[in-house]
A and B are shown apart, each in its own frame.
Chain A
């Protein structure tokens, strides 16, 4: 049996028994998942990478606390969330009033930059990421957990402290808001993409 065939729980058990090197398998499995989730909070690849690294170190140190009654990714997400919130608290993000004309112009130019960049890339992936980036952190987390983390409604509910039905409603709304963002800001890119492979 190769390491790739081992389940998360088996790997954790062996890491706790002293096979530290096996932890690399867990990092390999979840690095993109963690990095993507963190990137939604930070909007900066360097910060996201540093925080993600810190998350895996924290997870390693607390590995004995993983009881195995939930998925490893669910448990890992709780560390992702607390680490990102701590990061955002420490880092004072620059804020500006929306009443300010200059701020509005900056927002508009940012959005048009995204659109222009997308037309160049003609990438569905880039457009989606940019559209998700325009959503609230809660909406983007929900979409990431459901689609990229492949978490069930019950698991997301457990993570967020919500009822599965509430998660379902919030998920519907998040997808609708994403659709609105795509229609509002990326309609031109969608048409371009539809011309190539149809969305």
Chain B
């Protein structure tokens, strides 16, 4: 690693006014006492001053007039929030949630609950026995079902989408906090 890097970073922070008061005075002392720091500071300060003192490019004299002539033919469009119906978005969300919930309920219903022998599970046991009669689980080839590339792709998309959504949520939360 370049040994000058931390020095440059600290000097840039000092020049930009981003360092803490303690760090600010520490860097100030280093600039005053150390020739290498002082030389590097001058060097970076030159670049900073060059950039800070630079002028913006100006467009032609008629620019504002051209824009105003152009916008005279336009109207301000209504805000997006006024024509995007939140109820539609909510109903789409509700549809997907109900689909997932339905799938989960179906999966739970497929589980064989008759493992326990306690009296409290009698009701569930009787229900699962009747369900077993209706749906012979042993006949379903689970191995084939879960090894299919479609299921794998679906699971992969679901996991990636979940991670993307989690990332977006965390980023938004972080921005709100900052």
Contacts and interface: CB of A to CB of B under 8 A. Distances in A.
B46 A27 contact: no
A110 interface: no
Contact of A28 (B57, B64, B76): B64
B52 to A, nearest CB: 6
A52 B66 CA distance: 11
Interface string A32-71: 1101100100000000110011001100111111000000
B46 A128 contact: no
B79 A129 contact: no
B55 A125 contact: yes
Given A65-B80, A147-B52, A53 B66 contact: yes
B12 A175 contact: yes
Contact of A128 (B54, B60, B74): B54
Contact of B56 (A15, A124, A148): A148
B8 A172 contact: yes
Nearest to B74: A61
B55 A56 contact: no
Contacts of B68: 21, 23-24, 27
A171 to B, nearest CB: 8
A143 B16 CA distance: 13
Given A65-B80, A147-B51, A53 B56 contact: no
Given A168-B18, A175-B47, A57 B55 contact: no
Nearest to B55: A125
A83 interface: no
B43 interface: yes
B130 interface: no
Interface string A153-174: 1100010000010001101100
A16 interface: yes
Contacts, number: 111
A36 B57 CA distance: 5
B77 interface: yes
A146 B55 CA distance: 13
B50 A57 contact: no
Nearest to A143: B51
Nearest to B53: A124
B23 to A, nearest CB: 14
Contacts of B33: none
Interface string B1-18: 000000011001100001
Given A21-B68, A179-B43, A49 B59 contact: yes
A162 to B, nearest CB: 10
Contacts of A39: 57
Contacts of B12: 171-172, 175
B8 A176 contact: yes
Interface of A: 15-16, 20-21, 23-24, 27-28, 31-33, 35-36, 39, 48-49, 52-53, 56-57, 60-65, 124-125, 128-129, 143, 147-148, 153-154, 158, 164, 168-169, 171-172, 175-176, 178-179, 182, 199
9 contacts: A23-B67, A63-B76, A65-B80, A124-B50, A128-B54, A143-B51, A153-B18, A175-B12, A199-B50
Report, nearest first, the 3 A-B pairs whose CB atoms are least far apart: A32-B56, A64-B79, A35-B59
